[in-house]
Amino acid sequence: MDEDRSITEAASLINQAKCLVAFSGAGVSEESGIPTFRDPGGLWDRFDPYELGGGDIFSAMFRGSGIPRSAVDFVSEMVSVLERASPNPGHLALGELEGMGILRSVITQNIDNLHREAGNTLVIEVHGNLFRLACLVCGNKIYLGREELFSMGRKLVELMRESDLQGIIGLVSRCACGGVCRLDVVGFGEPVQDMPLAISEARGSDLFLILGTSGAVYPAAYLPEHAKKAGAKLIEINATGCYFPDIVDIGIIGKTGDVLPRVVDRVKELRR
Ligand code: APR
């Protein structure tokens, strides 16, 4: 089916949907300058996820073997790309669909807070959110402002370059309960967040959008199947291919920042 016809079909399904839910991955933020993980030149193409995806960076440091150069480069890159990032037309289109009363929720694997910045309110972040701290004792969550997070990030990079263990420990925030706080993001092998809510949103949907994800990471990648089994129709938009070919009803190969605004325009035409 040619792209324009797929966009019209997708808009027609969205226009009829009673409960639309979106599921997003790194591809949605690629046009905001944040590299994806598994594309050529992506983060896991240049860095070892198992060295960086868990807490090993700091345990290496506590063992006194200094901080791997790759860890410094990784954190430094993340601080600079996230600091420059803002919602792109793909994020804004989802914000608009919520504003039109069509989109109910966004389930995201992204930790960049861009769906919230684009105006979506029910955002289920199964891999956490970088702009949030979580207390390891009472579980309290504390939101960080952009400048608060990025000045901490820049300071961390500096201290990592010097392998300054004391300095890094000094950056650790404390909760009101006295507990130590960590960034509220999910590392490899750690439990995901709000999965029961994400599953109930997927199962409650009659139309499920799959946006910019390779579907390589579980349990998040089960969510399209939950929606399908519950009778929802599925639309996938991905720049490099269709990663759920067996279950999607419409697959559009294109960038979400280009395709989603065109879909929203078509929905508006249908509603005139
Ligand atoms: N628009 C749409 N799709 C895009 C775009 C774009 N502008 N740019 C890239 N893509 C596609 C890629 O081709 C790829 O299929 O988005 C997908 C991104 O896949 P991954 O890099 O694997 O990211 P994601 O699926 O979100 O990874 C899941 O893995 O590393 C962990 O915790 C991390 O949340 C992440 C999880």
- Provide the pLDDT for residue 165: 85
Residues of the chain with pLDDT under 50: none
Question: Using one digit for the tens of pLDDT, what is the confidence trace for 144-197?
Answer: 999 999 999 999 999 999 988 889 888 888 999 999 999 999 988 899 999 999
- Provide the pLDDT for residue 240: 97
pTM of whole model > 0.85? yes
Q: Whose CA is nearest to atom 14 of ligand 1?
A: 214
Confirm whether 127 is a catalytic residue.
yes
ω into 219 cis (within 30 of 0): yes
Atom of ligand 1 nearest to the CA of 243: 15
d(CA 122, CA 124): 6
Is the shortest distance between the CB of 29 and ligand 1 below 6 Å?
no
- Provide the pLDDT for residue 53: 54
Pocket test for ligand 1, best of 37, 184, 255 (most atoms within 8 A of CB): 37
Catalytic: which of 91, 115, 127, 226? 127
Atom of ligand 1 nearest to the CA of 110: 34
- Provide the pLDDT for residue 218: 96
Is the shortest distance between the CB of 217 and ligand 1 below 6 Å?
yes
- Provide the pLDDT for residue 163: 86
- Provide the pLDDT for residue 179: 94
Atom of ligand 1 nearest to the CA of 256: 1
- Provide the pLDDT for residue 108: 98
Is the shortest distance between the CB of 238 and ligand 1 below 6 Å?
yes
Is the shortest distance between the CB of 206 and ligand 1 below 6 Å?
no
- Provide the pLDDT for residue 57: 57
Give the mean pLDDT of the chain: 93
Is the shortest distance between the CB of 128 and ligand 1 below 6 Å?
no
